[in-house]
Amino acid sequence: MEPAPPCEGPVMTQTDVPEGLRLLTLSRPEKANALDSASVAALAAGVAGAAAEGAPFAFRAEGRVFCGGFDFTGVESQSEGDLLLRFAHIELLLQAVSTAPVVSFALIDGAAFGAGADLVAACTYRLGTPRAKFRFPGFRFGVALGTRRLAALVGTDTARAILLENRTLDAPEALRTGLLTHIVEEADLLATAGRVLAAHEGLPPAAPGRILRLTGADTGDVDLAEMVRSLAPAGLHERIARYRGQHV
* Structure confidence at residue 5 (pLDDT): 43
According to DSSP, the residues that pair with 60 across neighbouring strands are 25
Give the residue-averaged pLDDT of 95-100: 97
The answer to whether residue 153 scores a pLDDT higher than 70 is yes
Within a domain: residue 208?
A: no
User: How far are the Cα atoms of 101, 133, 171, 180, 194 from residue 175, in angstroms, in the given order?
Assistant: 25, 11, 6, 4, 19
Distance CA 58, CA 38 (A): 19
Within a domain: residue 172?
A: yes
Distance CA 211, CA 92 (A): 21
Within a domain: residue 118?
A: yes
* Structure confidence at residue 248 (pLDDT): 54
Give the residue-averaged pLDDT of 197-224: 95
Within a domain: residue 70?
A: yes
**CATH code for position 65:** 3.90.226.10
- For the residues of 90-155, what is the DSSP string, one character each? HHHHHHHHHT-SS-EEEEE-SEEETHHHHHHHTSSEEEE-TT-EEE--GGGTT---SHHHHHHHH-
Within a domain: residue 89?
A: yes
User: What tens digit of pLDDT does each residue of 27-70 get?
Assistant: 999 999 999 999 999 999 999 999 999 999 999 999 999 999 99
- Which domain does 70 fall in, by range? 11-198
Within a domain: residue 55?
A: yes
DSSP symbol at 208: H
Give the residue-averaged pLDDT of 223-236: 96
Domain count, the chain: 1
Percent of the residues in the chain that have a pLDDT greater than 70, as a whole number: 96
User: What tens digit of pLDDT does each residue of 104-138 get?
Assistant: 999 999 999 999 999 999 999 999 999 999 999 99
| pTM assigned to the model | 0.94
Distant-in-sequence, close-in-space partners of 90: CB < 8 Å, separation ≥ 6: 35, 40, 70, 115, 118, 145
- Kindly report the average pLDDT of the chain as a whole number: 94
Within a domain: residue 214?
A: no
Model confidence at 19, pLDDT cuts 50, 70, 90, reads confident
Within a domain: residue 68?
A: yes
